[in-house]
Structure 1
Amino acid sequence: MTRVLFAISEWGYWGEELIGPLEACDKAGYEVEFLTPTGNRPTPLAVSMAPGFVDPPQGKSVTSDDMAGRTRDLDASHRLDKPHNLADWVPVRPYPSSPTYLRDMEAYHQAIERIVSHDLPGYDALVIVGGSGAMVDLANNQRLHELVLGFVRLDRPIAAVCYGVATLAFARDPLRKLSLIRGKRVTGHPIDYDFHDGTGFEGPHAVDGSKKGFGDEYINFGPPFYPLEFILRDAVGPEGEFIGNVGHSESVIVDYPFITARSTESSVGCGRALVDVLDRNVRRYGW
């Protein structure tokens, strides 16, 4: 049976950006497992469960009644209760200041080799879910970078949605330190869709210890932490291309092994493309 691993932020995922690829995997009969950075149950962003929420840059609702309901139903189920703990699975990379740095790095590489050669072959694909939380604990997560590097090494597809695509930009060839997407065609959250204000995060991080938010259940960080489009344009280099497809209803790009989806509206398309890659050997789509 085809087995797919989903990486989800603990600081708030966008419901449709999980539901789109997840339901495609379910319909295709795949086995799905979930992973979060520290093993906490992921929390959907409240606005992704609020029908009629109007996205300011796009000037339209990006949360349908149907998708909001599906997100609430998934969150109310027990399906996400026990995700794998990335921190327990993949070791932290040693600091160069360690007095035993060389030996530490040897042990580190041996541990990563065991994961890539023993654990990862059990999975056929990796999906990195988007939402504002992905900026916090997925984009620059070196443990997740090692999984991405491992899936690339095994020639297995990696799908990423919206801000989840940033993980691909920051996952680097360990020797040349060039992005894995250098020379590739990708899409992602374009500058045209960035908030001027209102980028929020949610999850099990409240000052009162609850899992409902940050004490008052919401914190506003203003604009996004970074303009993803500019990062992706730089990461792909002169031989690659960022394709925003702004003004089009969907933007999904397959440049194997990477499947990238622009934002919420392209999440279902991301799931469709993932199935096409896994079941129909599609290697290029959308450009």
Structure 2
Amino acid sequence: MTKNVIFVVSEWGYWGEELIGPLEACDAAGYNITFVTPTGKKPTPLTVSMTPGYFDPPLGRSVTSDYYAQKTRELYESDRIDHPKSLADWFPQRAYPSSPTYLRDMEAYYRRLDEIVANELSGYDALVVVGGSGALVDLANNQRLHDLILGFYQLNKVIATECYGVTCLAFARDFREKRSIIWGRHVTGHPIDYDYLDGTGFEGPHAIDGSNQGFGDGFINFGPPFYPLEYILRDAVGPEGQFIGRVGHTTSVIVDYPFITSRSTASSAECGRILIEVLEKGLTRYNW
């Protein structure tokens, strides 16, 4: 039976290779793909991920190859990701405690979540959360995305996250228990050694079309990332888990089923290959 995979992508700048790597692996395997963004807008790739030879300061080398630059631009210029599914339309918003109907609102909220998990998520086999700096803006603290992740976790289905998309695992937690779902797990992610000191930017939907309108006139430099992901992940896994940065190794992909975590750009193709091995061969542990 053909497998169905959800790809969640930021609307404020995804790294092209981090989408193309696992997407090509899924396409080659003949999987059905559903693209999802926070509000249903077409996602925007970071310009530097379409610029061959782009030099990454922390790594001291180019991180954008001709191949992935071309593939990223081709995907963006095609109509394949023009109409992604909207998380805001799909998942309910959790009620504020100050709501005068809080208890009834929360009952309706959990009832709808249970319906989605049982009747809709059960039809999917894997979830992929694509990285890039835009994930800091609209994915990391997105309650609806957390609920999507929790639904896959409840169903024991594969959850793959890349780069700053791994943050979503640290923050995805049952609202009543408030403990991360990666507590006690082994994960990788963007280590502080590879964080920018300057140049972290976000690109909205007007960054590429030439209109230079919208947030930051299409681009704004925030200097370093909003947070050091390594520290967040170290705290999220707790004393019985482990953050594995594999600093100095070209790639870092970790499988601690049902989680696949991928460090950053260079690991994208490996992330896709390992995703297929998890889905087709039952791989449950890798690289630890």
User: TM-score with structure 2 length normalisation?
Assistant: 0.97
Q: Is the 8 A contact 1:189 1:229 kept in 2?
A: yes
Aligned to 2:37: 36
Contiguous gaps of at least 5 residues in structure 1: none
Cα 1:56–1:212 change in 2 (3 A) is farther
Q: Is the 8 A contact 2:205 2:218 kept in 1?
A: no
Looking at structure 2, the residues matched to 72 and 284 of structure 1 have their Cα atoms a distance apart, in angstroms, of 34
More displaced 10-residue stretch of structure 1: 174-183 or 260-269? 174-183
Aligned to 2:86: 85
Deviations 1:19-43 (A, max 9, x none): 0000000011101110000000000
1:40 counterpart SS class: coil
Instruction: Report how many residues are paired.
Output: 286
Looking at structure 1, the residues matched to 206 and 133 of structure 2 have their Cα atoms a distance apart, in angstroms, of 15
Aligned to 2:242: 241
Aligned to 1:123: 124
Deviations 1:198-224 (A, max 9, x none): 000001267x99477646432101100
Cα 1:171–1:211 change in 2 (3 A) is farther
* Alpha-carbon distance, 1:283 to partner: 0.3
Percent sequence identity is 69
Q: Is the 8 A contact 2:204 2:219 kept in 1?
A: no
* Alpha-carbon distance, 1:175 to partner: 2.6
Cα 1:205–1:87 change in 2 (3 A) is farther
1:12 aligns to 2:18 (yes or no): no
Q: Is the 8 A contact 1:202 1:213 kept in 2?
A: no
Looking at structure 2, the residues matched to 217 and 153 of structure 1 have their Cα atoms a distance apart, in angstroms, of 38
Q: Is the 8 A contact 1:10 1:41 kept in 2?
A: yes
1:102 counterpart SS class: helix
Aligned to 1:262: 263
Looking at structure 1, the residues matched to 287 and 11 of structure 2 have their Cα atoms a distance apart, in angstroms, of 31
Aligned to 1:166: 167
* Structure 1 residues 19-98: aligned runs within 5 Å: 19-98=20-99
Cα 1:41–1:211 change in 2 (3 A) is farther
Looking at structure 2, the residues matched to 128 and 11 of structure 1 have their Cα atoms a distance apart, in angstroms, of 14
**Partner amino acid for 1:183?**
G
Looking at structure 1, the residues matched to 68 and 87 of structure 2 have their Cα atoms a distance apart, in angstroms, of 28
Tell me which stretches of 4 or more aligned residues in structure 1 moved more than 3 Å. Answer: 208-217
Q: Is the 8 A contact 1:203 1:211 kept in 2?
A: no
1:169 counterpart SS class: helix
* Structure 1 residues 177-188: aligned runs within 5 Å: 177-188=178-189
* Alpha-carbon distance, 1:242 to partner: 0.2
1:200 aligns to 2:201 (yes or no): yes
1:140 counterpart SS class: coil
Cα 1:209–1:99 change in 2 (3 A) is farther
Aligned to 2:148: 147
Looking at structure 2, the residues matched to 236 and 263 of structure 1 have their Cα atoms a distance apart, in angstroms, of 19
Aligned to 1:231: 232
Aligned to 2:275: 274
2:120 counterpart SS class: helix
Cα 1:205–1:112 change in 2 (3 A) is farther
1:157 aligns to 2:195 (yes or no): no
Q: Is the 8 A contact 2:159 2:260 kept in 1?
A: yes
Looking at structure 1, the residues matched to 243 and 212 of structure 2 have their Cα atoms a distance apart, in angstroms, of 36
Deviations 1:237-281 (A, max 9, x none): 000000000000110000000000000000111101110000000
Cα 1:106–1:233 change in 2 (3 A) is same
User: TM-score with structure 1 length normalisation?
Assistant: 0.97
